[in-house]
Structure 1
Amino acid sequence: MKIFLTGGNGMVGKNILHFPKAKSYDFLHPSSEELDLKNYSALSDYIKLHKPDFIIHAAGFVGGIQANIANPVKFLTENLEIGKNIILAAKDNNIKHFMNLSSSCMYPRNAKNPLSEELILQGELEPTNEGYALAKIITTRLCEYIHKEDNTFLYKTVIPCNLYGKYDKFSPEHSHMVPAVIKKIYEAKVSNQNQIDIWGDGLSRREFMYVEDLADFIFYAIEHFETMPQNINVGLGFDYTINEYYQTIAKVIGFEGTFVHDLTKPVGMKQKLIDNTKLTQFGWKHSTSLEAGIEKTVDYFKKHVLHD
């Protein structure tokens, strides 16, 4: 099977391409220099030329809270444009199988946890990443509309929880919580600091899945695409407190100092846990424990980030 993957240079894309099962498929993964996803005609010509059997859309303009707050226009317009282009170019070239990767930030900020797939557009979004969320909602709906108009087009959306792992970004401005904390605790240990700040009381809960587990799900979904739900959450189905993430990372790195809570700092949403009912019914489950995932990520950080 020939698969066209967008976003092959991103964290999710690289984990898909380096997953052992990837060898069984013929992957096309042009870089942004080779193919501009903002150029509809170039994209359509590329699909016409290569005739993929399946498209996975994992490309996106992404970043942490600071980047989202600073650049809402770019987060909305770029993600909307590339999402719309790839979906419509696929449809116009009669590609029947399309997997759209979205984000749990699509869910309303005040929705009751765990967050089920039916909650999309059922309330106000989290303002800090509203632009990105709006783009993801529209591409998710576009896939639904295409299937509704012609059910031979299987255009489905995967909604992962927060991810961490190999090929992640470890810079404070761009990284999510887990890689940022790994860098922070590692540097504290190396410089013999004995105290680390945690924003807020550390009791907010977050669901982070090791990214290789998502890659495993992607291949499972390719093999069972006909029966996959239209929209499906992919995550653990349970969460941990911020304090528990700090403690696990400290244990893996060997940091023996203390944690101090800075109660003047913002903490964001109290919880963001996805409902994994459909995922369980679909027959897939994650396999990497938090400690094992942190160990692999710290190992990657030491070998590839510190030495690059």
Structure 2
Amino acid sequence: MNKMRILLTGGGGMVGRNLLEHPDIGEFEMLAPRSSELDLRDYKAVERYLNTHQPDMVIHSAGKVGGIQANMREPVAFLLENLDIGRNIVWASRQAGIKRLINLGSSCMYPRNHNEPLREELVLKGEFEPTNEGYALAKVVTARLCEYITRENADYQYKSLIPCNIYGKHDKFDPVHSHLIPAIIYKVHLAKQRGDETVEIWGDGTARREFMYAGDLADALVQAVKRFDSMPALMNIGLGHDCSINEYYQAAADVMNYSGSFVHDLSKPVGMTRKLVSVERQQEWGWHAKQKLKTGIRETYQFFLMEKFQ
């Protein structure tokens, strides 16, 4: 029996690499071209690739990603690059006759300053967080394109998953480019190496975030492939609970045996006060994350050390 052939975009990124390391990935024939082999910004190149390789399914996880500093510094690139690659892979898949596609969105698609768990129907029900508006716009457009394609022809099932914030192995740790947890790991590691008595936190640290280990998202994606027909057309993937930024710093300090203290710079931007996705649809579908926070941070820190000192 032939294996299902799956094209994975973003195979060199954190989500893609964790998916390719999943213990069940050998059940599928995976195509995971790097950007040097397939430039997703080039529609004709994407079209040629799909027609040549004819995958049975596409998983779209590629994108220009970064933390709050990167999004504020490069809003044009975050809008245009994500818009181009999302439109190109989704529409080229439709034109190539590929019937199944899983698109990865982002919790940035949800309205800002919404303190209750973010339900899927809240997309486009309020203004975005200004610090990553361009990225959010591109993600919403791609998800809507998937929805419209299926609406026009139900033979084409193009579905979107909206993960909460992700961290883990293969993450970016430089604070110029990184998200919260890898930036925390980098800063606490540096403070420990230098013997610094304090580590700076942007804002008062009370803002709350939901961070899921990347290996858990990879597992959700594998289950989405295996149980594609039962998966909702739009579904959050998350933990269903969050922590304050102060708590993430303390968890990292505990794991890394850092005994210093934290100071707060109240002049720095912090983004949304809370961003927690609703996991009701996910629970009804029958999946939940398994990794505990400190275990995930420990494995991520070990990966950081291995990469840093290779």
By the TM > 0.5 criterion, same fold?
Answer: yes
Tell me how far 1:122 sits from its aligned partner.
0.5
Matched, 1:157 2:160: yes
- Equivalent-residue separation in structure 2 for 1:33 and 1:201 (angstroms): 42
Q: Is the 8 A contact 1:110 1:123 kept in 2?
A: no
- Who is 2:188 aligned against? 185
2:73 maps to a residue whose letter is A
Q: Is the 8 A contact 1:165 1:297 kept in 2?
A: yes
- Equivalent-residue separation in structure 2 for 1:262 and 1:64 (angstroms): 18
1:44-94 CA distance string (max 9 Å, x none): 121111111110001111122222122212111111111111111111111
Q: Relative to structure 2, which stretch is displaced further, 209-218 or 252-261?
A: 252-261
Change (3 A) 1:67 1:261: closer
Matched, 1:14 2:17: yes
- Who is 2:302 aligned against? 299
- Equivalent-residue separation in structure 2 for 1:79 and 1:250 (angstroms): 34
Tell me how far 1:19 sits from its aligned partner.
1.2
- Equivalent-residue separation in structure 1 for 2:297 and 2:57 (angstroms): 32
Tell me the TM-score normalized by structure 2. Answer: 0.97
1:202-230 CA distance string (max 9 Å, x none): 11111000000000000011111111111
- Who is 2:217 aligned against? 214
Tell me how far 1:112 sits from its aligned partner.
4.1
Q: Is the 8 A contact 2:115 2:275 kept in 1?
A: no
2:5 maps to a residue whose letter is K
- Equivalent-residue separation in structure 2 for 1:10 and 1:119 (angstroms): 28
- Who is 1:64 aligned against? 67
- Who is 1:54 aligned against? 57
- Equivalent-residue separation in structure 2 for 1:168 and 1:50 (angstroms): 29
- Who is 1:44 aligned against? 47
Matched, 1:224 2:227: yes
- Equivalent-residue separation in structure 2 for 1:186 and 1:112 (angstroms): 32
| Aligned positions, number | 307
Which of 188, 198, 203 aligns to 1:200? It is 203
Q: Secondary structure at the match of 2:141?
A: helix
Which of 6, 23, 34 aligns to 1:31? It is 34
Structure 2 gaps of 5+ residues are none
- Equivalent-residue separation in structure 1 for 2:175 and 2:280 (angstroms): 34
CA RMSD of aligned residues (A): 1.1
- After superposing on structure 2, the runs of 4+ consecutive aligned residues of structure 1 that deviate more than 3 Å are none
Percentage identity across paired residues of the two chains: 53
